[in-house]
Every structure is written in structure tokens, then in C-alpha cells.
């Protein structure tokens, strides 16, 4: 006789454990007991029993099965093609990779150290923030619109009710897009615990009870995400500051919110809290959205100031104190006081605890894993995707990277081209960008020209009675090929994808100008901007071709 332990995933109750136990005991020469609490089967078998039979019996009941040998090492069932892929993380990149790897015949061990799965986007990022921003915008519109006959109203904000609804949707989406996928894919085995490398092919997983398990894998994908970067400012760590995580679930609206930061998260949340009635001050190290075309930042300054947000450009905080009620920031432009402080100064990769040096995986100065266009790290069998890498921190980039990484781990040859990557900032008006700015194009040696069309020339903006912003196109002078687009306008997030398709398909300004665009849409502004390269659109009649 020999004793075998099998880790079982996907069980949700004692009845599940009984099902797995019955499946094992139905095999000749097997005596088994299954613990739901431990997620483990203890099996005694005759020596001639093939362990793969045990794993298949459990998998046939819809659960994941991983063999734990006498050394407490894990070897996953090779009931498909023998390829075992280990994935650290359970966000969008991780799940995209897991599904693609399983589709191609692999068995996947997916490892999560947090209490919940799903990563940043669904839990504390894209999903809750966009729900919050939308609710705040609706509150703002009630008291700020230009339509006659519709009385203005300042709503009474029930922040707790907003958060409750927001988190209900978070839970629904997490279940639909992550938890339910695990239940329906027995070839994806979820392991709980913090992972670190023992060597390039072995991960050590420390569970909540401090027991450790070793996992050997043919390929490993790191998709561990990132966390809020906290600047080294005197006194800051001793104060109850917010990151975006706390800001999104706060059940009250501060009287005066100080926002440290001037990039995407900082600006989206600053405006949302202003729309709920808070006084807001933004402290920007340089300008707003400093990595974008300068017209974008200048336009947002005007928008925010018109809404009553105070903007302090080129401002650095030297120290922070909190007296129990008020934050006080000493800056190079004087003291700034408020009852709440939001730190939104970027995000740092969650790579410090992985012991990457033991696997030979190289990182940059920030700790981001350096990968190539095939998502390969410096170690041949180790790949990475998402916010823990040196790629742009967008959820759709992470998902695309995860899918391509899985293809390559399974022997394919997929690349991720980020040269035409649309990006959106969900302020109001929105910011949409894709391709090169005029300055970037010139720095690359391109001879380019650009045109900027104020949104007041777009008929739909006039009908909306909201003419804030502009659309800008950048094109090569000689060929007319479009190489970049920057938009500050309502629905910029919808507009920018059309520009991305134009750039991806190497369209010229004239070809875009000749396209048919439906009248009274914001995206028609792209056509009008293209027309400005050869004519004065102010002299055109409505929907002139």
C-alpha cells in the first residue's frame, strides 16, 4: 500500500467533498477520505494504481486535482498534453493566460495570495471607479446644465448607498468573470498562498497556516499586478491618508479633499469628488497629465478651474501632518490644509516578495519585470504580463499580454504590438490619445504637421450645449499618413478608437476626410479635423462632404 495526498480545488461545501470521496473510493484498490476544510484528499492505494486515475476521477466530478507527493511537492495532472503552466496572480492578465493555455491543452495552477481573486480592475480599479465617476457625474448634471425648462437641483448625496450599489456590481462582475470561470474550468486549479521562487522552475507557496508547498511547472507566468506608490514625504506614513482603494469605498464626502498627483487616477477621482460637492485642491509636481500633449493638460486646467477645483502646478510637498481632523501639507508654494488627503502618485509592481533573483528574472529600477514583445522575461521559461511589467498599466494591455504569453508558452509565436494603443482618461470631458504627439513624432525624426479643431465646430457638441475641448490630428507632411490623435471632448473614449483604426490601417488625412460619418455624432469631429488640413471647416454647411 502507498499513501497519497491530493489537493482539490473548486469544492464549495461538504457535499462536494463527499462527491470527490465517493469518486475515489469507486476505484478498485483505493481507500480515500476527503476534507472540504483542508481541500485535501488522503488516499491509500495498491502499488499498481496509476495516480493519474485518481486525478481523473476527481476531475470528472468537476473539481481541480493536484497531486501532493511525499516531499510535499505538487505535480499537476498531465491528463492533457503534459504541459503544466503555473500562473501567479488572478487578475485579467492571469485569467486570459489561463483560459488560452487550457484551450491549447495545458493544465494550469493559478496562485493567489489575497483573500479575493480578480486583481485590481474588477475589485479596486476600473469597475468601481467608473461606477463612482458615473454616479458623481449624474449628481453634477442635476445642478449644472444649460437646458431651459429643466430646473437645477443640488442633490442630497447618500454616499453609503452609492458605495453599496457600487460594491454589489463589483461582486457580481467578480463572480461572473472570475469565480464562475474557475468553477467551469476544472483544468484551472486555484491555490491559495503567497508565491516566491525557489529556482527557475519551482515556486514555493506559503499558505495562510504558514505551511509551504512547492510547485514545479514547465512554464511560469507572473501577473502579480501593482500597488499604490507612496512618496517618501516627511510625516506622511503617520497620517490616515487615502489611496484610490480607500477613496472608492469611503461612505462620506470630505469637505476639502487634497489630491497629491496629477495623472489619470488623481484627476478622475478629484473631479468625481468635486462633482459630489467637495472642495478640491490638486497638487501637481509639474503639469496635469504631463506625459501627454501639452494642450491636453492646459485644457483640463481650464475645465477643472471652471468647476471650482484649485490647481497648484509645479508644487512639491515637503512634509505632511495630521492633528486628528485636518491634514496640513507644507509645500514650496505655502501650506495647504484639508480634512482628507488622497495620494495618487502612480503604482509600483508587486514583485518584491517573489525572490526573482533566484530565477534570474531581471527588473528595472522600479522593480518592473523586463519583458520583450513576446512577453518573455530574461529567463527562458518565465513570462510576465500586466502591471508588474515594464508595459503600460492598462487592463486591456494586461489581458492581451496574458493571451499572447499563453500562446508562446505553448510553443506559439505571438507578439504584442503597442505602437497603436488607445488610452482614455475618464474625466469630463474625457481625454483620448493614440499614436504619437507632434513632439514625439518630431523627436523620432518624422516630418509632420498637425491640426487642432475646437469642439465648438462639431455640430453634436453644439446640440449638447457643451463645447469644451478639441480634437487634434498629427500626420506626415509628404504622405499624409496619420500617426497620432489627441482628444479632449465628451465621448473622447469612443472617438479615439476610430482614430486608432485609422492609424492601424495607415490611412491618410484625405482618406479619413472622405469617409462617411453619421451626422450629429461626436466622432464626426474626426472627419472635420481631417478636413481642416485643406479647408476652413467654419465655412462648410452642415454635414458637408
Distances (CA, A) of 40 to 58, 225, 314, 362, 439: 11, 29, 57, 36, 59
Q: Is 11 a catalytic residue?
A: yes
Using the CB atoms, write b or e for 320-336: b if 16+ within 10 Å. Answer: bebeeeebbbbbeeeeb
Task: Show pLDDT as tens, one digit a residue, over the chain (545 residues).
Answer: 678 888 887 676 677 788 889 999 999 889 999 987 677 888 988 766 777 888 888 888 877 777 764 334 444 444 445 789 999 999 999 999 999 999 999 999 999 999 999 999 999 999 999 999 999 999 999 999 999 999 999 999 999 999 999 999 999 999 999 999 998 898 999 999 999 999 999 999 999 999 999 999 999 999 999 999 999 999 999 999 999 999 999 999 999 999 999 999 999 999 999 999 999 999 999 999 999 999 999 999 999 999 999 999 999 999 999 999 999 999 999 999 999 999 999 999 999 999 999 999 999 999 999 999 999 999 999 999 999 999 999 999 999 999 999 999 999 999 999 999 999 999 999 999 999 999 999 999 999 999 999 999 999 999 999 999 999 999 999 999 999 999 999 999 999 999 999 999 999 999 999 999 999 999 999 999 999 999 888 777 776 66
Identify the active-site residue in 11, 83, 410, 522: 11
Q: Is 485 a catalytic residue?
A: no
Identify the active-site residue in 40, 126, 194, 348: 126
SS (H, E, C) 78-147: CCCCCCEEEEECCCHHHHHHHHHHHHCCCEEEEEECCCCCCHHHHHHCHHHHHHHHHHHHHHHHHHCCCC
Q: Can you list the domains of the chain with their CATH numbers?
A: 2-70 (3.30.70.100), 84-117+173-227+349-409 (3.50.50.60), 236-344 (3.50.50.60), 423-537 (3.30.390.30)
Place of cell 514583445: 373
Which residues make beta-bridge pairs with 334?
Answer: 331, 332
**Cβ atoms < 10 Å from Cβ of 222:** 33
Q: Is 63 a catalytic residue?
A: yes
Q: Is 542 a catalytic residue?
A: yes
Q: Is 121 a catalytic residue?
A: yes
Q: Do 269 and 304 touch, CB atoms closer than 8 A?
A: no
Identify the active-site residue in 63, 241, 383, 394: 63
Identify the active-site residue in 16, 40, 194, 421: 16
Q: How many CA atoms lie within 13 A of 288 on its CB side?
A: 29
Please choose, from the candidates 475, 483, 491, the residue with its C-alpha nearest in 3D space to the C-alpha of residue 523.
Answer: 491
Q: What is the rounded CA–CA span in Å between residue 142 and residue 272?
A: 14
CB burial class (10 A; 0-12, 13-18, 19+) of residue 71?
exposed
Q: What is the rounded CA–CA span in Å between residue 196 and residue 188?
A: 20
Q: What is the rounded CA–CA span in Å between residue 364 and residue 540?
A: 52
Sequence-distant (≥ 6) Cβ neighbours of residue 536 within 8 angstroms: none
The CA radius of gyration of the chain, in Å to the nearest whole number, is 27
Identify the active-site residue in 74, 83, 121, 410: 121
Identify the active-site residue in 1, 365, 465, 542: 542
Distances (CA, A) of 196 to 86, 111, 216, 220, 237: 12, 11, 12, 12, 27
* Res 135: pLDDT: 98
* Res 13: pLDDT: 67
Identify the active-site residue in 312, 348, 421, 543: 543
Q: What is the pTM of this model?
A: 0.86
Q: Is 16 a catalytic residue?
A: yes
Q: Is 126 a catalytic residue?
A: yes
Q: What is the rounded CA–CA span in Å between residue 467 and residue 429?
A: 10
Q: What is the length of the chain?
A: 545
Amino acid at each position: 500500500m502507498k499513501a497519497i495526498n491530493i489537493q482539490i480545488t473548486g469544492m464549495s461545501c461538504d457535499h462536494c467533498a463527499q462527491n470527490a470521496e465517493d469518486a475515489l473510493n469507486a476505484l478498485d484498490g483505493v481507500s480515500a477520505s476527503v476534507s472540504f476544510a483542508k481541500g485535501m484528499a488522503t488516499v491509500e492505494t495498491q502499488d499498481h494504481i496509476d495516480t493519474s486515475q485518481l486525478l481523473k476521477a476527481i476531475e470528472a466530478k468537476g473539481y481541480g486535482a493536484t497531486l501532493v507527493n511525499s516531499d510535499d511537492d505538487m505535480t499537476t495532472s498531465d491528463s492533457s498534453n503534459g504541459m503544466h503552466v503555473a500562473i501567479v496572480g488572478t487578475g485579467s492578465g492571469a485569467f486570459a493566460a489561463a483560459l488560452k493555455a487550457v484551450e491549447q491543452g495545458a493544465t494550469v495552477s493559478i496562485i493567489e495570495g489575497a483573500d479575493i481573486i480578480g486583481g485590481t480592475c474588477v475589485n479596486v480599479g476600473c469597475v468601481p471607479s467608473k461606477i463612482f465617476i458615473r454616479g458623481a457625474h449624474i449628481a453634477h448634471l442635476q445642478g449644472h446644465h444649460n437646458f431651459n425648462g429643466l430646473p437645477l437641483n443640488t442633490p442630497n448625496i447618500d454616499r453609503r448607498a452609492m458605495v453599496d450599489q457600487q460594491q454589489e456590481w463589483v461582486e457580481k462582475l467578480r463572480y461572473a468573470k472570475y469565480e464562475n470561470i474557475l468553477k467551469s474550468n476544472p483544468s484551472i486549479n486555484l491555490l491559495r498562498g503567497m508565491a516566491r521562487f525557489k529556482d527557475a522552475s519551482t515556486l514555493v507557496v506559503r499558505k495562510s497556516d504558514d505551511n509551504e508547498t512547492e510547485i514545479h511547472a514547465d512554464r511560469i507566468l507572473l501577473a502579480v499586478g501593482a500597488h499604490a506608490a507612496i512618496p517618501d514625504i516627511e510625516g506622511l506614513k503617520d497620517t490616515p491618508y487615502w489611496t484610490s482603494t480607500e477613496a472608492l469605498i469611503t461612505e462620506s464626502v470630505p469637505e476639502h479633499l487634497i489630491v497629491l498627483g496629477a495623472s489619470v487616477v488623481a484627476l478622475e477621482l478629484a473631479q468625481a469628488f468635486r462633482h459630489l460637492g467637495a472642495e478640491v485642491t490638486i497638487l501637481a509636481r509639474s503639469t496635469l497629465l504631463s506625459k501627454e500633449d501639452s494642450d491636453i493638460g492646459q485644457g483640463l486646467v481650464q475645465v477643472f478651474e471652471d468647476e471650482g477645483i484649485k490647481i497648484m502646478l509645479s508644487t512639491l510637498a515637503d512634509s505632511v501632518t495630521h492633528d486628528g481632523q485636518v491634514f496640513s501639507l507644507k509645500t514650496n508654494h505655502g501650506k495647504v490644509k484639508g480634512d482628507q488627503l488622497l495620494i495618487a502618485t502612480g503604482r509600483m509592481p508587486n514583485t518584491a516578495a517573489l525572490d526573482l533573483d533566484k530565477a534570474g528574472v531581471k527588473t528595472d529600477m522600479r522593480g518592473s519585470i523586463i519583458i520583450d514583445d513576446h512577453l518573455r522575461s530574461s529567463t527562458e521559461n518565465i513570462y510576465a504580463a500586466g502591471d508588474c511589467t515594464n508595459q503600460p498599466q492598462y487592463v486591456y494591455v494586461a489581458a492581451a499580454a496574458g493571451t499572447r504569453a499563453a500562446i508562446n508558452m505553448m510553443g506559439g509565436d505571438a507578439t504584442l504590438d503597442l505602437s497603436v494603443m488607445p488610452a482614455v482618461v475618464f474625466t469630463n470631458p474625457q481625454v483620448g490619445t493614440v499614436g504619437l504627439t507632434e513632439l514625439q513624432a518630431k523627436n523620432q525624426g518624422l516630418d509632420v504637421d498637425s491640426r487642432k479643431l475646437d469642439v465648438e465646430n462639431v455640430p453634436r457638441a453644439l446640440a449638447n450645449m457643451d463645447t469644451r475641448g478639441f480634437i487634434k490630428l498629427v500626420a506626415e507632411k509628404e504622405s499624409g499618413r496619420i500617426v497620432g490623435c489627441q482628444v479632449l471632448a465628451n465621448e473622447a473614449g469612443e472617438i479615439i478608437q476610430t482614430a486608432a483604426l485609422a492609424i492601424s490601417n495607415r490611412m491618410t488625412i484625405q482618406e479619413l476626410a472622405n469617409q462617411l460619418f453619421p451626422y450629429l455624432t461626436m466622432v464626426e469631429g474626426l472627419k472635420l479635423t481631417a478636413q481642416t488640413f485643406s479647408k476652413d471647416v467654419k465655412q462648410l454647411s452642415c454635414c458637408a462632404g
